[in-house]
Amino acid sequence: MTVRDTWNPAQYERFRTEREQPFHDLVALITRRPAGRVVDLGCGTGVLTAMLHHQLGAAATLGVDSSSSMLDRARPLEAPGLSFVPGDIATWGPDSPFDLVFSNAALQWVADHRSLFARLTAMLAPGGELAVQVPANFDHVSHTLAAEIAREEPFAAAMHGYARTFSVLPPEEYASLLHGLGFVAQSVRLQVYGHVLESPDAVVEWVRGTLLTDYESRLPGPLYQAFVARYRERLHAALGDQRPYFYPFKRILLWGRLPV
């Protein structure tokens, strides 16, 4: 099956304010300033990578992303000490270690977090820090509905039975994982971000910028439009016409530091 790059920076940034708060909360957990050598995995448009670079006074920050449309937006932000490269987090590895491995809202796209976190830890220098934020909203109707529709026809046949599964672990498992990987200090928390949106329709626009890009990349254009139409109809049936609509969004913020 062909998987296209369907990340759309403009669609993603429609909810920029809402998406930025978890980033700021994650940055607040980082203790080393200036931060030294930093990597931002799944850097997207690079806007937050540049902010991270400046806020931490980092010596060098590298943004890594697998989407060429996102990287096209990020590259103009390059500056001394700030650069962006293409790479798949599942396989990408650095030439030399980092003092901070950072990732905001990206690792949920990567499988098997136990082995992934072992690889991320191996990227760190002694005393290095890991800071990760992942959504944990997979039991909300905005997410369960997408998987439900993916299993219905004609979408199931077109995607050969594919439905997105999520690799995000419960918070306590990340805490145990960090301990097992040798982190001597850590913070892991689940936080609910409440977003007051105009109506349930805004939720459709929200997931079109993230979750649904996965189905968009696997379906021909007209079929993807039909997928979104069915999603919209069912979401309305589930949520009613609430105006404004309060969208509670769970996220896990985790941080750990290795011994020196």
Residues that bind ligand SAM (CB under 6 A): 7, 23, 42-44, 48, 65-67, 70, 88-90, 104-106, 109-110, 210
b/e 15-26 (16+ beta carbons within 10 angstroms → b): beebbeebbeeb
Taking the complex as a whole, how short is the minimal distance between the CB of residue 222 and ligand SAM, in angstroms? 24
At a CB cut-off of 8 Å and minimum separation 6, what does 54 contact? none
User: Considering beta carbons, is residue 82 or 89 the nearer one to ligand SAM?
Assistant: 89
**C-beta of 44 vs 256, nearer to ligand SAM:** 44
Q: CB nearer to ligand SAM: give 70 or 178.
A: 70
Residue 69 or 186: the one with the smaller Cβ distance to ligand SAM is 69
* Shortest Cβ 185–ligand SAM spacing (Å): 24
Decide if 145 contacts 118 (C-beta within 8 A). no
* Distance of closest approach, residue 69 Cβ to ligand SAM, in angstroms: 8
CB 249 within 8 A of CB 135: yes
Q: Give me the least distance between CB of 104 and ligand SAM, in Å please.
A: 4
CB-based closest residue to ligand SAM: 44
Q: List the one residue out of 91, 84, 72 whose CA is nearest residue 43.
A: 84
